Structure 1
Amino acid sequence: MTAISPRARRVLRRCGWVLLILFLLWASTPLWPLTAVLPGIVAWLLPAAQAVYFLGVIAAGCCAVALVWGGTRRRTRGRRVGVATVVLCTLLGLTAADMAEAVRTQGAEAAAGDSSLRIMSLNTYYGAAEDEGIVDAVDELRPDVLVLAETSTEEVSAVEDATGLRAVSPVLRRTPGAGTAILVDDGKASEVSEDTGITRHQMPVAELAESQATVAGVHTNTPVHRDLLGGWLQEMEDLRDWAGGQDGPAILAGDFNAALSHPEFRELVFDADLERCAGSAMGPATWPAAFPAVRLDHILVAGASCGDSGALRVDGSDHRAIWADVQF
């Protein structure tokens, strides 16, 4: 076996340091609220990197191990590399954990009320989710409110016929996948708006008669597309303003195309004083459905608190359905 020359070792070590720095930068992207100020041609890359920042954490850890292993022949350098990488990774991990825990515990002190609603939400993948699968999930969870994003009139009708739930407004199809529906028990919704116009896709809103809670079905643009990024940034601001302007309890449920690792989404949650119904710091991932890695779907509440929650797969959809009990 041919030994590696000292010069080659130095080159490899320097490359390893460069990679470690790049991976650490990637892993720290959730802390960068810079998407709005970057040039459009590259701006969409930042939310994409933020969504999968955990891959940067893994890569940085592997790179650190390789550097430590390669530096053990020189004891002093090996120790320095080891200490530096452990400190950097520990600080990064603590920062990420603190970020997640802060959002998870927001509103945790709210006392449970006398009534509750079970909310379920699913992106149906342009209506491709199996009707039977949606109905089975509804039969299993028995939600009081069902939000369907990327849905169609035909899909909503099939769910209505099988479950007894009723859509509060017609499904609009001004763009592909734009249809969003809120379904509740017949007579449970009072004031209804079929589309607020806040998001590119339909955003229906309904006030529930008994709880007086306002429910919004949300489906935003995706930020990882150059032509749609500006719309997504504006939607995060507009949703924050809408939620913050509600007088009574408010529930936003649907596909936000945003993860907790996106600063813009965290601003929406914090500034509007919303609580995430996720069940854990990060919550179960919802996309892609087969091997979920990122939580893009959320149930956010104001003027109420979150109880039990979870996620489940519905055949035909590229997202997993989410549900949560909201207490008043």
Structure 2
Amino acid sequence: MIEPTEAHVTTVAQEEGPPAALETRPRRWVSVLAWLTVTPFAIWAVLRLIPADVHFRWVQLVGFTPYVALLSVVAPIVALVSRRWKALAASLLVTAVLAACTLPRTTVTDVDDGGPSLRILSSNLMIGAAPPPALVDLVRRLRPDVLTLQELTPEAAEGLDEAGLGQLLPYKVVRSKPGTGGSGIYARYPLTPGQAIDIGGFGQARATLAAPDGRPVEIVSVHPCAPRYQDRYQCWADGLAALPSPSGSRHVLAGDFNATLDHARVRRLLDEGYSDAADVTGDGLSTTWPYQPWHFNGFGIPPVTLDHVLVSSGVTVRAFSVQVVPATDHRAVFAELGLTAR
């Protein structure tokens, strides 16, 4: 047997050394890629669980949580393919948290057929741009007992009267204003005007309805400021904080909340005892805005769920749907409710 010479050994070492070194580097980059993929979703999940709106920019972003939850499945796929087991475990936990925040909105809970019916329709008119005849036709078709309107201008209120809304819903409490701050409540049953919630120029009309079961229901046409700019953030927060507590009499809050169920201030309303009609019927991911092109820093905004019907105890949910109103960037929301004793 011929023993290898020193030169031969050296040559073999030189040939075998570099591949081992090069093999370590890709492994390191694969690990970095796996963790870089999961980290943004982990940060989002942590912020979503905090019971507060932590920053103005977060208020603008958190409404897109359902989309982020869907995209988060990329992280465990990357970790699995790269065989990074710790990253896989972390990414599965993050995806589970985000799924737990969103998927319950697709399941039906506590739909009740008891008690007299109360139908609610709510629509943001986009500074009065929605054609009054189209809205009146929708009222005629759906036969709501209560209609709440946002961005109700004096011209729009006059147009609705001329289109015959008063023949269908003869009672009204109207706080129309030029621009985006007006609102109103129209009803089939008598209304007693309440103190409007007027913050930052946004007037949220408020009234007590003489319901068909003989007991009152407080109605609010919800529309706080849109937190589009930082100087409107506090107005938005105060407008939501001023909404009535669900304790005491029965309440229905219907309108454009400029917030989704992922915003901490709306979650606080649910924690206090309100129920979201869409959430109850499994339609909680039905989007309502924008339905005209909207862009932010050059990027198109995917639709989110800003419009809601919230009900207190003593009011149950039977059905929910999203309706098209022409010439406005919002979809209307319609809920059939049931009235029970508290």
TM-score range normalised by the length of the shorter chain: 0.7 to 0.9
Query: In structure 2, what is the Cα distance between the partners aligned to 1:79 and 1:13?
Result: 10
Q: Which residue of 2 aligns with 1:89?
A: 95
Aligned residue identity for 1:176:
G
Structure 2 residue 329 is matched with structure 1 residue 326: no
Query: In structure 2, what is the Cα distance between the partners aligned to 1:224 and 1:64?
Result: 34
Q: Which residue of 2 aligns with 1:254?
A: 255
Aligned residue identity for 1:192:
P
Query: In structure 1, what is the Cα distance between the partners aligned to 2:152 and 2:70?
Result: 36
SS in 1 for 2:192: strand
Distance 1:159 1:231, change over 3 A: same
- 1:207-218 superposed matches below 5 A: 207-211=208-212, 212-218=216-222
SS in 1 for 2:173: coil
Q: Which residue of 1 aligns with 2:297?
A: none
Q: For the aligned residues, what is the CA RMSD?
A: 2.8
**Greater gyration radius:** 2
**Are the counterparts in 1 of residues 38 and 87 from structure 2 also a CA contact under 8 Å?**
no
Query: In structure 2, what is the Cα distance between the partners aligned to 1:236 and 1:135?
Result: 29
- CA distances 1:244-265 after superposition (whole Å, capped 9, x unpaired): 35x4222111111111111210
Structure 2 residue 128 is matched with structure 1 residue 138: no
**Are the counterparts in 1 of residues 287 and 306 from structure 2 also a CA contact under 8 Å?**
yes
Structure 2 residue 238 is matched with structure 1 residue 220: no
Q: Which residue of 2 aligns with 1:74?
A: none
TM-score, normalisation: structure 1: 0.80
Structure 2 residue 286 is matched with structure 1 residue 284: yes
Structure 2 residue 314 is matched with structure 1 residue 298: no
Query: In structure 1, what is the Cα distance between the partners aligned to 2:200 and 2:316?
Result: 25
State the shift of 1:295 in Å. Answer: 1.2
Distance 1:269 1:136, change over 3 A: same
Query: In structure 2, what is the Cα distance between the partners aligned to 1:50 and 1:84?
Result: 21
Q: Which residue of 2 aligns with 1:59?
A: 71
State the shift of 1:51 in Å. Answer: 0.5
5+ long unaligned stretches in structure 2: 1-21, 293-300
Identity of aligned residues (%): 26
Query: In structure 2, what is the Cα distance between the partners aligned to 1:315 and 1:101?
Result: 27
Q: Which residue of 2 aligns with 1:29?
A: 47
Q: Which residue of 2 aligns with 1:181?
A: 184
Distance 1:195 1:97, change over 3 A: same
Aligned residue identity for 1:22:
P
Query: In structure 2, what is the Cα distance between the partners aligned to 1:34 and 1:210?
Result: 35
Deviates more, 1:309-318 or 1:57-66: 57-66
- CA distances 1:51-108 after superposition (whole Å, capped 9, x unpaired): 0012322333223323322x1xxxxx4455444433442344235446x589x74xx3
**Are the counterparts in 1 of residues 153 and 179 from structure 2 also a CA contact under 8 Å?**
no
Q: Which residue of 1 aligns with 2:56?
A: 44
Query: In structure 1, what is the Cα distance between the partners aligned to 2:153 and 2:29?
Result: 57
Structure 2 residue 102 is matched with structure 1 residue 124: no
Query: In structure 2, what is the Cα distance between the partners aligned to 1:140 and 1:292?
Result: 29
State the shift of 1:33 in Å. Answer: 2.4
Aligned residue identity for 1:20:
V
| Count of matched residue pairs | 300
Query: In structure 2, what is the Cα distance between the partners aligned to 1:109 and 1:324?
Result: 12
Distance 1:87 1:34, change over 3 A: closer
Structure 2 residue 193 is matched with structure 1 residue 192: yes
Aligned residue identity for 1:33:
P
